Each structure stands twice: as structure tokens, then as C-alpha cells.
Structure 1
Amino acid sequence: MSTMSDSDPIPTLGLVGSSRWPQKLHLGWLTCTAAMLAFGVLGGVVTAQSVGEGDVAAAAGFACLVLVFIGLSILGLGLGGFRSIGLSRRIVQSHDQTYGRGIEVPTGRYGALLLAAVLASGAAYGLTAAAVHFAGIAEALLPEGRDTGGGAALMALAGSVALVAAVLCIVCRPRTVLGIYPSGVHRRARQWRRQVFRRSDLFLAWDDVASILPDEMVVHTGWADVMHPMIKLATHEALPAEDRLQFDEEATATVMAKLFVAEPNTLLALLQFLKDNPDRRYVLERPDARELLRPPPLRERFRAARLAKSSGSGMGRPGGV
């Protein structure tokens, strides 16, 4: 087997132009982001005015509304194409007693926590608006025409529902760690299914993997379809029933690539590289092995997506990654 010094450059995994899931700029989402930012600025002005007038309750409520708009604008940036900007710090080198040295890639927590913060801020606004109305302090937080007892009760109900949803976003967030080793792929997962947490601990040796297949799950959102990249590891034998997750099949382990902190195309390229090159898998033992998952610069990915669209070689699917 060939050897490689730690001082040698890490291998480059393919070209950005060959990406399965081109990373596009979505002007619709970016327009929504700009609108949310504008509402956030307006809310900040109203909050400052409330503070100047000594209306602390109204200032607190409007401040929560500003946080909602800021959170929505950040989520909009990701949907608009600004994601996986660099190599995540959460991709780390692993030294497992069973599988040896490799790298671990966890699922992201940023999106779920941000959504929970948006919901919690919205809940705080709704509950504050209802509280100040029933206390007779102020009615400025309620929409015009809804400044009644019924309107306040509706805001309290909406706030309570949003608060429960925020808690569920954090508690029920799927958590998976993908360990990639010279010997194979190790998936440790915890999923909330049927009102209980299910745990899975699955290891696939490279010789057990028959093929690696990219796929997509399209979510219909009404006015736009959002595509979620999936990496399917087809195996020669059936997976243990107790270790199958929601999107697994009898002889296929599914990696929901968009949920992980690694850029999906780069993760797919690394798995395919290791599958096709048994004599190069030792690269995972290097101290800088995590650099294998460093994505191309964002500008290059946008440019490759434009070129793929203009040449007609794109995926031809609705929405985008």
C-alpha cells in the first residue's frame, strides 16, 4: 500500500462543476429575506419610540417581534443559497477503539435552534400582547380591529402553541453522527418516532456497500419546492431491522445529507472516493483528514450552478438544495 506524508497536500475530491446538487441563488427567498430585514428595522424604530415614551410593555413586545424578523431573515439567507460557507468546526477527527482513526460528521443544530428561537420570540410577543391587554396596560401590541378580549385570547392561544412548537423543535431534533473510517461507515442516530426516541447504531464495512447512490426528497411548500439531498448506501445484505431509520430500506441505509454540517456534494464525493479507492482510505488517519470535507468556495459553487443551468446539464428538478 502506498504511503503519504502528513505534510503532503490532502487529496482534492472532484470538481465543483460535477456536483449532483448545484448550489443555486434563489432570488425569491432572498427577496423575502430583504423584506424581513426591512420589517425588523421598522420594528426596531417602533421599539425605540416605545422606550422613549416610557411604554415598557409595548417596547418588550415589539422587541420580540424584531427578533422574529431577524430570525426569519437568517433562515431566508440559507434558503436563498448562503449555506455550508466553509468547513464546520463540528467536523472532527475521531479515534474509535473499534474502528480506528477517522472523522465524525454530526447533524446540524443551527437550523433547529434558530427556528426554535423564532417560535419562542413569536410566542413571547403573543403572550405579552395578551397579558398587557387583560391587565389594561396597553393595547398597541394587538392589530387594529383585534384589540378586544377575543383578539387577546387568540394571541394568547397562538403564543402558547408557538411556545410548545419551539420546545418540540429542540427536544425532538434528530441527532445523528456519521463516522467515516478506513474500515467503513458508522452511523449513530437518535430519532423521535411514534412518541418515543429510537436509537440506531449501524456499521457498514466498505466491502458490505454495493453502491453509493445520490437521491432527492422533494418537499412541496405551496409556492416553491425544496429539495433535500439523500445519499443511499446500498448493501449486499439486509440491514438489521432494529437499526433501520425512517428513510432506510431493507438493504439501503439512507444518509439525509442536508441535515449534516458537511456540504452534501462534498460528503457524497468523499464517500464515493473511499468506496472506489480502497488503497487510499488511509488518508482518513491523517491529522488533517477533516479537510477532505472542506467545500469549494461559495462563489465557485454559485458559478457552477449558473453554468449548469445555462448548459442544460442541471438536475432539472424543482426548487434546489
Structure 2
Amino acid sequence: MGLTNPMGSKSPFPTIEFARVADAKPSVGSKLSFAGLVAVFIAIPGMWVAILISDGIGKSPVVVVGACGVIVGSLGLLLMICPPNPWGRKHSARIRHHLDATHGSGISIGARDIMLPIVLVLAGGAAYAIAAWVGWKLGDAGGLLPLSKTSSGGATFVLIVGLILAGALILVFIARMRTSLELYPAGIRRMMVYPVLRRLREQFIEWDEVDSIEQGVHRQSGSGATIELSLIDVRLLSPRTPVQRRDWDTPEKVALPAYLLDCDPHRLLAIMRFLKDHPEQRHLLARPDAPIWFTAEEKAS
């Protein structure tokens, strides 16, 4: 078991037991493996990009654009295979004290941007492919199309791929959502913001409306496999309609996407259950130092 005991025996925050994930802290070996993987991802495209840029600077800006596309796309691929916390960082800047005009002081827990790697891959691939076609059209593609310097078919194929990636990038930007969880002495608020569409969808649940808080699972299927993603289900005393997120919610519950939030899901679940059962302790959420309750290092019980 672990303890949320961030400030020792003098802490104003109660000690709460929660399930501890075994070997959650990255080992030295895993850190070295990740560092080696980063080096490989930098070295392999880096050598080709260096040649492209040295050949393109002062001669062809298109080649430089294409080379930059390779860099951006490679960074996206690296982030895709990168674990969420490769160095074992214990504190997150996404967990912070928050002052709301309506609900007062509380805690805001932000989400990891899981779409960023996809955005980088699509943007980098589109930039490279379109730059390669433009360079071929101008007769100045340099090393961007080493196998299709004189082939219109290869250049056209690259252009089609680039346009598909650019179209997918636009769709991702439109559908991109920022999620956050806010906890106040008065209740729980789930925020979903769509920046491009300028839309805000939120659910505010007063603590007195909560029947129970349970661990939930969202099953996501794709590529012949099913992935189980961790949720925190806030079950309601009275059904709530309309349902805001049909893949997460039902009239009887509002789900919090723990798999996205930059906070240990077991710790978050334990603290929320404690606050639900102990109304007299909810004022702790308004303290400026409350984020440490959600980020302190786990200690053995």
C-alpha cells in the first residue's frame, strides 16, 4: 500500500491509503534504454537531414522545408513510443491551485496532450511530401526524392500522400479536445474544450449529488486489439440527461478520464472517495498548497 502523506505528521492533509502499482518507478535500466532510443531517433534522421539542409541552404528553401518536416515527423514518432513519465517525475505542473469566479478556490488537474505526437507526425509528413513535390516540379528537389528525380509517377504519389496527411491534420485540429478536472469544496467539474470550434462542454456535480465514486474502464477497440483505459466513475443519486459523452457517460454516471489526467489514478480515486465521505474535509481543496496532496511521493505503509 501507499500513503498520501505529503508533509509528514504535521501535514494538514489526512493520510489516505490507496492501491500502489508495483514497480511504477522507472528503473535505471529503463531510463538508459529510453535515452538510447532517443539517441537512435535523433541520429538516424539527423544525418540525412544535415545533408539535406547543407545542400539546400542558399540554394533551395524547399529542401530546407522538407528537411524540417522530417525532423518534426521524427519527433512525433519518438513521442508516440515514449512512456508518459520516462524519468519518474513525481510532480506535475498540470496539477495546480485554481481560482474560479463561480466556485471559488480549488484544484485543477490537466490532461496529457495525447494528440500532440499525431499532430507532429501528420504535420511533418505533409510538409516533407508537399515540399518534395514542389521541389520536383521546380526541378530542384535535391535529396528529397532520391528514387524519383525524373519520375512523375513517384512525385505525384508523394503529392497525394502529402495532401492526405494535410487533410488529416486539419481534421485532427478540428476534433482536438483539451480535458481537465477541477475539484472544489462545492463539487466536481469536468471540462472539455474544443479550441478550434470554440466550444466548451462541462459537467458540474455537487458533492451531495454523488452516490458513489468507483474505478471504471473504457474499452477502446482498434487494429484487432482492445485497450482498457482507466476511468473514475462518479455515480449520481439522480439520473442526468442528456448524456454528454456517450462513450464515457450514462444517465446514472459521469466518467472522468483518469487515463488522460496527469495524476496517479489510484491516488486521485482515493482522495475523491475520502472527500465524498468526509464533507468536513472538503475545505482542504481551497488551500493554495493543496496540489501537493495529489503529487507527493508515495511512501510505504
Q: TM-score range by the shorter chain?
A: 0.7 to 0.9
- Aligned match of 2:96 in 78, 92, 95? 92
Alignment partner, residue 121 of structure 1: 124
Match of 2:67 among 29, 52, 62: 62
**1:216-262 CA-partner distances (Å, limit 9, x unpaired):** 22434548754321111111110131655541101110111122233
Aligned residues: 286
Alpha-carbon distance in structure 2 between the residues aligned to 1:198 and 1:246: 19
In structure 1, give the amino acid aligned to 2:121: V
Structure 1 stretch displaced more, 245-254 or 59-68: 59-68
Q: In the superposition, relative to structure 1, how do residues 132 and 145 fare at CA in structure 2: closer, same or farther (>3 Å)? A: closer
- Are the aligned partners of 2:75 and 2:120 in contact in 1 as well (CA < 8 Å)? no
- Ranges in structure 2 where 5+ consecutive residues have no aligned partner: 1-8
- Counterpart Cα distance in 1 of 2:26 and 2:159: 38
Give 2:174's match in structure 1, choosing from 167, 171, 185: 171
Seen in structure 2, the aligned counterparts of structure 1 residues 277 and 217 have a Cα distance that, compared at 3 Å, is same
User: Could you say if the C-alpha distance between residues 147 and 295 of structure 1 is closer, same or farther in structure 2, counting changes exceeding 3 Å?
Assistant: farther
Structure 1, residues 89-114: CA drift from partner, whole Å, max 9, x if none? 23332333443321122333x33234
Residue of structure 1 in register with 2:184 after alignment = 181
Unaligned runs of 5+ residues in structure 1 are: 1-6, 305-321
TM-score, reference length from structure 2: 0.77
Partner-residue secondary structure (3-state), 1:179? strand
Q: Does the 8 Å CA contact 1:113/1:169 hold for their aligned counterparts?
A: no
Task: State the match for 2:266 in structure 1.
Answer: 265
Identity level (%): 26
Q: Would the aligned equivalents of 1:184 and 1:205 in 2 still touch at CA under 8 Å?
A: yes
Distance 1:283 1:103, change over 3 A: same
Q: Deviations over 1:180-206 (max 9, x none)?
A: 1122212233469xxx88643322222
The correspondence for 1:102, drawn from 100, 103, 106, is 106
Distance 1:168 1:22 in 2: 38
Retained in 1: the 8 A contact 2:182–2:190?
yes
Equivalent residues in 2 for 1:69-80, closer than 5 Å = 69-78=74-83
Aligned position for 1:4 = none
| Deviation at residue 150 of structure 1 after TM alignment | 1.9
**Aligned twin of 1:44:** 46
Secondary structure in 1 matching 2:49: helix
Query: Match for residue 275 of structure 1?
Result: 276
Give 1:24 shift.
8.1
Give the alignment's Cα RMSD to 1 decimal.
3.7
SS in 2 for 1:257: coil
Inter-CA distance 268–113: structure 2 relative to 1 (3 Å threshold): same
Deviates further, 215-224 or 201-210: 215-224
Aligned to 2:163: 160
Residue aligned with 1:189, SS: strand
SS class of match (2:83): helix
Deviation at 1:125, TM superposition (A): 0.6
Q: Letter of the 1:89 partner, please give it.
A: A
Is contact 2:107–2:183 with CA below 8 Å preserved after alignment? Answer: yes
Kindly tell me: are residues 99 and 232 of structure 1, through their superposed partners in 2, closer, same or farther at Cα, counting changes over 3 Å?
A: same
Aligned twin of 1:314? none
What amino acid is aligned across from residue 167 of structure 1 in structure 2?
A: I
Stretch of structure 1 that moved more, 18-27 or 258-267: 18-27
3-state SS of paired residue (1:241): coil
Q: Does the Cα contact within 8 Å between 1:120 and 1:162 map onto a contact in 2?
A: yes
> CA offset at residue 295 of structure 1?
5.2
| 1:214-233 to 2 correspondences below 5 Å | 214-220=215-221, 222=223, 226-233=227-234
